[in-house]
Structure 1
Amino acid sequence: MTKPVPTGDRGRSDQEILRRGLTAFSELGYDHTTVRELAARIGVSRNFVGDRFGSKSAFWFAVVDFACAEAEVMSTPDARLPDDEFVKKTIRGFYRNAARHPDLHRLLADEAARDSDRLTYLYDKYIEPSFVHIWEPIDRLTAAGRILDVPRHLLFFTIIGPTMAMTHAPLAARLGRHTPTDIDDLDRYADQIAELVIDGLFVVTGS
């Protein structure tokens, strides 16, 4: 669906073009991100998106593929881990990913609010494959009475929901969150969120 990313004009690297596009889409949403706004934010001519990518839509797909690859959203823990450790490590990794790549996760949250070809693409290529590895361990833990027995969609949103703490920085700041100073600070913050969610999921055994 996407084309190889060409070299940008005015000396912009491919990576810089796509990262600036990601920031624009994540802040404004797809419908409110005009081609003119993209050009202004990227620092290229107004015709750049159309000439190089074909359309705003094609550029969005290129941005998403680049961002998901850069964030390594498809990576999973070692499948040889015990089920409980696999689930916990997956959740911790998910929040660290959201903390380090807030623009991507904000874009995902925005697209999840409406039905579209873009959501279908995100779900089929990234969301479902990213979670498929965790469902079987969760099912086994649920059957063993170690995780609360609730519908899968509730588990999904229980895990996904707290990413707002990482992606909605203005609100988080008003609620008292300090501004992270480095990667270690981001990881500690993400780990705190993860432990709250893990404690809730494993409340049956108090793990």
Structure 2
Amino acid sequence: MSQQAAPRGRGRPRAGEELDDEPLLQAALDAFAEAGYDGMSVRALSRRLGISHALLTARFGSKQDLWFAAMEHACTQAEQVWRQVTETPAGDDLEALRQGLVRQVLFAAAHPQVLRIMNHEGAIDSPRIRFVVDRFINPLRPGVERLLDRLVAAGRIRSVPYTTLHYLITNGGGAQFAHPVEAALLGAPTAPPSAQLQAHAETVADVLIAGIVTSPGGSDRTPA
């Protein structure tokens, strides 16, 4: 990803100036989340960004390639969270799982576009949903299952179908960020401060953990 010394204003890049991928990919995420894949126009996006359509397509290729790049840009952050949780857990397995849940909710708050896009894509078979499953979900699954299996074998949690836990983790705690209008009508703040986001994430994690532990002692956060 190219880095620039100072933010560039709107308009086409000057001769020899490289495009900064991050704001382009963030804008693409916003556009796909708002309109869905079919409703999103690369030409309209280029106008919104103040760059030429030809320049945008030369950088990212087709609309589908831009979708892949935008989702890769965002989902890599969640991937790093779960790799750290499952491959280099610090101390207690149950606390590692809890921290993964907290950080997943915070990711959903920072990137609500991802869940909105997945709501568009998850019901229809396409190369896009298969990209997300094959690139992110399936590669992370064995590590998460090993963590869960250790906890089940130790008698600390009950066995839960992987798909059930997947949707509780990815959709449950993040839904209010993906659906801000509904959340606001229910009384949720539109721009909660970081401390409130952290408290929400901690609550979601604690509720999920409480639902799968086999005994009150199983929810002890101190290392066994």
| TM-score (structure 1 length as normaliser) | 0.83
Q: Please say if residues 115 and 171 of structure 2, whose CA atoms lie closer than 8 Å, have aligned partners that are also in contact.
A: no
- State the identity %: 32
Please point out which of 11, 17, 23 is paired with 1:16: 23
Q: CA deviation at 1:90?
A: 1.2
Measured in 1, the distance between the counterparts of 2:196 and 2:110 equals: 10
Q: CA deviation at 1:143?
A: 3.4
State the 4+ residue runs in structure 1 displaced beyond 3 angstroms: 46-49
* Higher CA-based Rg: 2
In structure 2, list runs of 5 or more residues that go unmatched: 5-9, 14-18, 220-224
Q: Is 2:209 the partner of 1:198? A: yes
Please point out which of 32, 48, 62 is paired with 1:41: 48
Measured in 1, the distance between the counterparts of 2:148 and 2:116 equals: 26
Q: CA deviation at 1:41?
A: 2.9
Q: Is 2:107 the partner of 1:101? A: no
Measured in 2, the distance between the counterparts of 1:18 and 1:178 equals: 27
Q: Please say if residues 96 and 190 of structure 1, whose CA atoms lie closer than 8 Å, have aligned partners that are also in contact.
A: yes
Please point out which of 153, 177, 198 is paired with 1:187: 198
Q: CA deviation at 1:128?
A: 2.3
Q: CA deviation at 1:82?
A: 2.1
Q: Is 2:186 the partner of 1:175? A: yes
Q: Is 2:183 the partner of 1:148? A: no
Q: Please say if residues 74 and 130 of structure 1, whose CA atoms lie closer than 8 Å, have aligned partners that are also in contact.
A: no
Measured in 2, the distance between the counterparts of 1:149 and 1:65 equals: 31
Measured in 1, the distance between the counterparts of 2:78 and 2:204 equals: 20
> What is the letter of the counterpart of residue 165 of structure 1?
Q
Measured in 1, the distance between the counterparts of 2:201 and 2:191 equals: 11
> What is the letter of the counterpart of residue 142 of structure 2?
V
| TM-score (structure 2 length as normaliser) | 0.77
Measured in 2, the distance between the counterparts of 1:27 and 1:190 equals: 25
The residue number in structure 2 matching 1:83 is: 93
1:60–1:9 Cα change, 3 Å: farther
The residue number in structure 1 matching 2:122 is: 112
In structure 1, list runs of 5 or more residues that go unmatched: none
Please point out which of 73, 84, 100 is paired with 2:79: 73
Count of residue pairs brought into register by the alignment: 202
RMSD (Å), alpha carbons: 2.6
Secondary structure at the counterpart of residue 92 of structure 1: helix
> What is the letter of the counterpart of residue 173 of structure 1?
A
Measured in 1, the distance between the counterparts of 2:43 and 2:147 equals: 47
Measured in 2, the distance between the counterparts of 1:121 and 1:9 equals: 32
Please point out which of 149, 159, 174 is paired with 2:169: 159
Q: Please say if residues 9 and 44 of structure 1, whose CA atoms lie closer than 8 Å, have aligned partners that are also in contact.
A: yes
Q: 1:35-58: CA deviations, max 9, x gaps?
A: 233223323233343333221111
